[in-house]
Each structure stands twice: as C-alpha cells, then as structure tokens.
C-alpha cells in the first residue's frame, strides 16, 4: 500500500484510531507512535516492535525516534545515512509579555 503522508509522534497524548474495522481495545495508541494517511485520506496511528523495544531511548533522545521513523518509511540521506536534523523547532516561539493596554484609560 502506498502512503500519501506519514508522521512520527515522539510524545504527547494517546491517539485514538476511530475506525470500526479496528477492535475497540486496539484503537488507543500511546506515544511514541507513527501515523500514516493512505491515498483516501484515512489516518491511522500505530506502534511497531522497534518502538516498543526503544521506547525509553526515544523519550531521552529524539534522534532514536527519528532513526526509527526514517527506517520505517525508507527515508535515506546521502550514502544511505540518516538525513540530518538541521534545526530543533520550539513548540512555542519566543515572545515578550508586553502590556498592549499600557497608557490607555478605561472609563
């Protein structure tokens, strides 16, 4: 099967696969896990044996999870090495707390 999109969640909340073809007991997928969207746009989260085996290492080092993600979806860089992580994006951008109402008089 071809996948149109894939993602790796290294932490966060449990994903719920809302699919009547998946037994209810198997619909909750804890992190870390992979996501795929098939050609029809259906999203499914799942874990692999590799994730189960390396779960603690993934929580300690995102590179462990990135390596599993690249292997799962056959993403390779130059000479079959893992593509480099070029930047670490912050969840929340830097900002300053500025009082936008400073100097205004309210009646």
pLDDT at 97 exceeding the cut of 60: yes
Domain span including residue 72: 3-80
Name the least confident of 3-7, 12-16, 24-28.
3-7
- 44-87 pLDDT, tens digit each: 999 999 999 999 999 888 888 888 988 888 887 667 777 666 66
Q: Is residue 101 part of a domain?
A: no
- Confirm whether 49 is domain-assigned: yes
Distance CA 67, CA 63 (A): 6
**Mean pLDDT, rounded, for 25-53:** 90
Count of domains for the chain? 1
* Residue 32 pLDDT > 90: yes
The first and second tokens of residue 80, run together, are: 């079959």
- Per-residue pLDDT at 30 exceeds 60: yes
Flag whether 26 is in a domain.
yes
Where is mean pLDDT largest: 1-15, 40-54, 84-98? Answer: 40-54
For residue 43, how many other CB atoms are within 10 A of its CB? Answer: 14
Task: For residue 32, tell me if it sits in a domain.
Answer: yes
In a domain, 91, yes or no: no
25 inside domain: yes
Average pLDDT over residues 33-43: 86
Q: Which residues pair with 66 in a beta bridge?
A: none
């Amino acid at each position: 099967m071809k996948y149109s999109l894939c993602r790796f969640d290294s932490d966060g909340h449990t994903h719920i696969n809302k699919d009547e073809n998946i037994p209810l007991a198997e619909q909750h997928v804890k992190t870390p896990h992979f996501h795929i969207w098939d050609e029809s746009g259906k999203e499914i989260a799942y874990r692999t044996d590799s994730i189960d085996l390396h779960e603690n290492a993934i929580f300690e080092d995102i590179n462990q999870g990135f390596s599993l993600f690249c292997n799962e979806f056959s993403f390779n860089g130059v000479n079959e090495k893992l593509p480099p992580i070029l930047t670490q994006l912050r969840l929340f951008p830097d900002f300053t707390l500025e009082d936008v109402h400073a100097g205004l008089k309210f009646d």
